[in-house]
Amino acid sequence: MIGRLNHVAIAVPDLEAASAQYRDILGATVRPPQQEPDHGVTVVFIELPNTKIELLHPLGEDSPIAAFLAKNPSGGMHHICYEVDDIIVARDKLVSSGARVLGGGEPKIGAHGKPVLFLHPKDFNGTLIELEQV
Ligand code: CO
């Protein structure tokens, strides 16, 4: 059911410093910051030959990333994103097998303009999983 690894997301306390590190030290292609008010994040995409890294920084009052950074002050891996062909088919299959979909179960439009869902980390080995329909 799942396809390519679309991205790995890392929560960072200093978006500019993290962007500079990927650009100047790791030599990656780093895109400009993008604000995603619906998700409470500012995102910087880093393009690698085989996938993307998504640097996440809190935006607004009750950003989920603020809580994550409170627990992990130096930052950390936040989620991984797998591609699926049909997000509704994927969701229904997961729900029927007992997995919990976060936030009511309806897809939202994600940072790439495509429908996304998040799966409860306790159901997936402690890893927050994002599904993106491509
Ligand atoms: Co993501």
Query: pTM for this structure?
Result: 0.92
What's the pLDDT at 104?
87
Question: What is the CA(87)–ligand 1 centre distance, in A?
Answer: 15
As a whole number of angstroms, the longest Cα–Cα distance in the chain is: 46
Q: What is the CATH number of the domain that holds 102?
A: 3.10.180.10
Q: How far is the CA of 53 from the centre of ligand 1 (A)?
A: 9
Tell me, what's the pLDDT at 111?
79
At 115 the pLDDT is 96
Q: Containing domain of residue 34, as a range?
A: 5-133
Domain count, the chain: 1
Ion ligand 1 nearby residues (CB, 5 A): 9, 81, 130
Q: Which residues are catalytic?
A: 130
State the DSSP string of 60-126: STT-HHHHHHHHSTT-EEEEEEEEES-HHHHHHHHHHTTPPBSGGG--EE-TTSSEEEEE-GGGTTT
- Tell how far the Cα of 78 is from the centroid of ligand 1, in angstroms: 9
The tens place of each residue's pLDDT in the chain, 134 residues long, gives 999 999 999 999 999 999 999 999 999 999 999 998 888 999 999 999 999 999 999 998 889 899 999 999 999 999 999 999 999 999 999 999 999 999 889 999 887 889 999 999 999 999 999 999 99
